[in-house]
Structure 1
Amino acid sequence: MRLLEGVGVAPLTPMSADGMKIEYGAISNYVDFLVEKGVNGMFVLGTTGEGTSLCVSERKKALEAFIKANDDRVTIISHCGAAVFEDIIDLLKHSKACGAHAAAVVTPFFFKHSQDELFAFYDAIATEMGEYPLYIYNIPSLTKNWISVDVLKRLHQKHPWVVGVKDSSGDFVYALSVIQNLPGTFNTVVGCDAAYSAVLMNGGKACVSGPGAVFPEFFVKVRDAVRAGKYDEAFKAQKSLTKLTMAIGNGANIPYMKAVLEKRGLRMGGVRMPLKLSTREEIEGLDRELFKVMAEVGIQF
């Protein structure tokens, strides 16, 4: 079993200028960029990868392109969440067959669900998939459904291959509760960039960051400093990391993150509707703040 530890990033998905087609040929250079910057893993086709905006066939082909480009250098987690249960199972089986090290499924969205319903949902998935590592993706700001620590514990006890949670709630106390109430075999991964160093120091395994897929450098510095026990250095790198994250929209501004990656020499293109590209005026305004932060923390494109 190969799980995520250290720096996980949520890569964006290269597209045509109008966002209507995936530019599969641009994925290889992007993967090389991320691996060479020192990341440990990629959470492919998650929120910043616009996974739920793509059809099943696009998601399969994109995942295959990421896996091929990666060439087993870092851990690949395939996000397989969808609105239709049969599509989730289809994507999970494809993920396993094409060599993703593990998969993730976001909580159901649109309808508000009870904790018993969420348990039954993941229980059915884990039963169907058997011994394939599965992360639960908790992002209640977008799904309206917050999975409880108790449900995570029940799922892991019944299905040891439910191996972790990717928590993007932004609630540090919740993340600590997961770490403290589940065994060490459970992989807690945080999606809140500002909490990265603190979560690592308190027993969390990794981050999965959208901004980290644009500027991985300070995530790598935090990881290395924590592993070396140099906590002052980790906090210093964390401050720079947080400033950069906020300057590019804290993971929520996908069009601007793509624009910044273009500045870093990578072909990203547009976004899938109903997202829309930023206007020139919007980009110029965001650039002014970003350039100021980049100069302050000492990083260049």
Structure 2
Amino acid sequence: MKLNLRGIIPPMVTPLTENGEIDDKGLKRLIEHLIDGGVHGIFLLGTNGEGPSLSYELRRELVYKACEIIDKRVPVLVSITDTVFDESVKMCRHSKQAGADAVVIAPPYYFPISEDEMKDYLQHMVGELSLPFVLYNMPSCTKLHLSIDFVKFAKDLGALGIKDSSGDLGYLHDLIFTFKDSSDFSVIAGTESFLSSTILHGGQGAIAGGANFFPKLFVDLYNASLNGDLLEIEQLNEKVDHIYETIYNVGRHSSRITKGTKCALSVLNICDDYMALPLRRFDMRERNKIEEYIRQFQSSLTC
């Protein structure tokens, strides 16, 4: 299948109610917010989507409802990474039935595995897939940093591209250089602050968490990078950097990025900020900080 994997693809949060169910109204508002902001695709059940913390039933429900609302307006990618091989295959089948366009595969977490074991795993997985797949490099969560040679192996198996969330800019540039002549393989940054560098070096886009709450900011930065508008790139990168210094810097734990993203959406009245355990939403003191930062950003974005 030919899928134009490019641009800004937010790793969409999963709107939840206080009882841990899908927030249907919040889900619709969020999807419309993203599409109105000009995003080029939507990624479900990733880290910001709290995928590993959701029950299989809830994951299936989220994919079905999201695909129904999106209605083919933009491509839908679904993470099927799991500790259980058969559950990944089942989620792929469900995603296809729901109308998704591709699945995203990272090394199964918990057990540390070798790259040779991952090759064997992926080869078996591809034989069971009913949708095209995108590779996901997330060593901080999977214990395995995928080498360039492994990515070549995955491409030969049919991978459409790779989302790199290693945080290693040199590695990302190496990926872009390695596959620069492969028009059918996309290199997508998972670190949103790398967006402009990715595009300027020949990459295809970013799965940017901040695009959940400020999609247009990241779409504008993507377009400026495509056009080589260095002044606008500099100005927009300052705003992206400021997200790291403010919204992503509230709270004491590494979960603060996911919590801050959901809290920002709640402050914007798009969806509530209830989290799936083990995460908990910010307390009122932390929420007040997010509210202030959002007010500051809204003023700067309209200037």
Q: TM-score when scaled to structure 2?
A: 0.91
2:135/2:154 contact within 8 Å kept: no
TM-superposed CA distance for 1:246, in Å, is 3.8
Equivalent residue, structure 2, for 1:271:
275
Structure 2: where are the runs of 5+ without partners? 250-254
Q: Offset of 1:123 from its aligned partner?
A: 1.3
Q: Does the residue aligned with 1:129 lie in a helix, a strand or coil?
A: coil
Per-residue deviation at 1:39? 0.7
Describe the SS at the equivalent of 2:78.
Answer: strand
1:109 has 2:113 as partner: no
User: What SS class does the counterpart of residue 46 from structure 2 fall into?
Assistant: coil
Partner of 2:208: 209
How far apart are 1:26 and its partner, in Å?
2.5
Once residues 293 and 269 of structure 1 are traced to their aligned partners in structure 2, the CA distance between those partners, rounded to angstroms, is 19
Aligned-residue Cα RMSD (Å) equals 1.9
One-letter code aligned to 1:265 = N
- Determine whether 1:258 maps to 2:255: no
Q: Kindly tell me: are residues 269 and 218 of structure 1, through their superposed partners in 2, closer, same or farther at Cα, counting changes over 3 Å? A: closer
Identity in percent: 25
Q: Which moved more, 1:206-215 or 1:244-253?
A: 244-253
Distance in 1, matches of 2:104 and 2:257, equals 22
d(CA) in 1 for partners of 2:228 and 2:210? 25
Contact kept? 2:164, 2:187, Cα under 8 Å: yes
> Shift of the alpha carbon at 1:286?
4.3
Return closer, same or farther for 1:292/1:23 CA change in 2, 3 Å cut-off.
Answer: closer
Tell me the distance in 2 between the aligned counterparts of 1:32 and 1:284: 26
TM-score, structure 1 length as denominator?
Answer: 0.91
Equivalent of 1:282, from 286, 292, 295?
286
Distance 1:69 1:293 in 2: 28
Q: Could you say which residue in structure 1 is the equivalent of 2:177?
A: 180
Unaligned stretches of 5+ in structure 1?
none
2:206 counterpart SS class: strand
Counterparts of residues 1-301 of structure 1 (less than 5 Å): 1-18=2-19, 20-129=20-129, 132-157=131-156, 159-160=157-158, 162-182=159-179, 183-249=182-248, 252-292=256-296, 294-295=298-299, 297-299=300-302
The answer to whether the 8 Å contact 1:76/1:100 transfers is yes
Query: 1:102 and 1:16 mapped to 2: Cα distance?
Result: 27
Distance, in Å, in 2 between the alignment partners of 1:286 and 1:261 is: 10
- C-alpha separation between the residues in 2 aligned to 1:25 and 1:284? 24
SS at structure 1 position matched to 2:128: helix
1:78 counterpart SS class: strand
Q: Do the aligned partners of 2:267 and 2:291 also contact (CA within 8 Å) in 1?
A: no
- Maintained 8 Å contact 2:173/2:198: yes
Amino acid at match of 1:168: S
Residue 59 of structure 1 and its aligned partner are, at CA, apart by 0.8
Change in CA separation of 1:246 and 1:143 when aligned onto 2, cut-off 3 Å: farther
